[in-house]
Amino acid sequence: MYFLVLILCVVVINDASQYDPHLYPPTGPFFEGWYTRLTDTDNDRSFGVLFGRVLPRNSQSTSTSTSTWDSNPTTYISLVCSKGQGSPMVVVQAYPDEDDIEVTVRGGRPINKDPSLQAPSYFEYVVRPYGFYNVTPNSTVFSFTIDGVTFAGNFTRPLLWDSTGQGPEGWLTDLPMLPIHWFVYSLGTPGSYTWNQSGRVISGKAHAHQEKNWGQGFPAGWMWTQAYNRTANATFAGTFGVVSFNPVIRGPAHLFGYRNFARNLRLDFRPDNSFTTQDRRPCEGKATVNIYSLLHTVELTMSAPVETFQKCLRGPVESGFQYNLVETYVATIRVVIKKLGFRGFSVIEDQIFYGAAYEFGREYLCPQNPCTD
**Dist. CA 3–CA 240, nearest whole Å:** 7
Note whether residue 258 is domain-resident.
Answer: yes
Note whether residue 23 is domain-resident.
Answer: no
Average pLDDT over residues 292-311: 95
297 has a pLDDT exceeding 60: yes
What is the domain count for the chain? Answer: 1
Going by pLDDT thresholds of 50, 70 and 90, the confidence category of residue 9 is very low
Note whether residue 46 is domain-resident.
Answer: yes
**Dist. CA 49–CA 360, nearest whole Å:** 18
Q: What DSSP element (H or E) covers 362? A: strand 344-362
Going by pLDDT thresholds of 50, 70 and 90, the confidence category of residue 178 is confident
- Could you tell me if 290 and 299 are in contact, meaning their C-beta atoms sit under 8 angstroms apart? yes
Amino acid 62: pLDDT: 55
Note whether residue 12 is domain-resident.
Answer: no
CB neighbour burial string for 190-210, b if at least 16 within 10 angstroms, e if fewer: ebebebebeeeeeeeebbbbb
pLDDT in tens, 162-174: 988 899 999 998 8
- CB neighbourhood size of 91 (10 A): 20
pLDDT in tens, 136-160: 999 999 999 999 999 999 999 999 9
Amino acid 217: pLDDT: 93
Average pLDDT over residues 181-196: 97
Going by pLDDT thresholds of 50, 70 and 90, the confidence category of residue 108 is very high
Amino acid 68: pLDDT: 45
Going by pLDDT thresholds of 50, 70 and 90, the confidence category of residue 58 is confident
Cα four-point dihedral sign 19, 21, 27, 30 = positive
- Could you tell me if 219 and 2 are in contact, meaning their C-beta atoms sit under 8 angstroms apart? yes
- Could you tell me if 31 and 54 are in contact, meaning their C-beta atoms sit under 8 angstroms apart? yes
- Could you tell me if 189 and 157 are in contact, meaning their C-beta atoms sit under 8 angstroms apart? yes
Q: What residue numbers bound the domain in which 360 lies?
A: 30-372
Amino acid 243: pLDDT: 87
Amino acid 1: pLDDT: 46
110 has a pLDDT exceeding 60: yes
pLDDT in tens, 254-288: 999 999 999 999 999 999 999 999 999 999 999 99
Looking at 70-74, 205-209, 216-220, 366-370, which range is the least confident one? 70-74
Mean pLDDT over each residue of the chain, to the nearest integer = 91
Amino acid 373: pLDDT: 61
Average pLDDT over residues 1-16: 37
pLDDT in tens, 308-357: 998 899 999 999 999 999 999 999 999 999 999 999 999 999 999 999 99
Note whether residue 5 is domain-resident.
Answer: no
65 has a pLDDT exceeding 50: no
Amino acid 118: pLDDT: 75
The model carries a pTM of 0.92
Amino acid 276: pLDDT: 98
Note whether residue 337 is domain-resident.
Answer: yes
Amino acid 69: pLDDT: 44
Note whether residue 10 is domain-resident.
Answer: no
pLDDT in tens, 204-242: 999 999 999 999 999 999 999 999 999 999 999 999 999
Average pLDDT over residues 105-126: 91
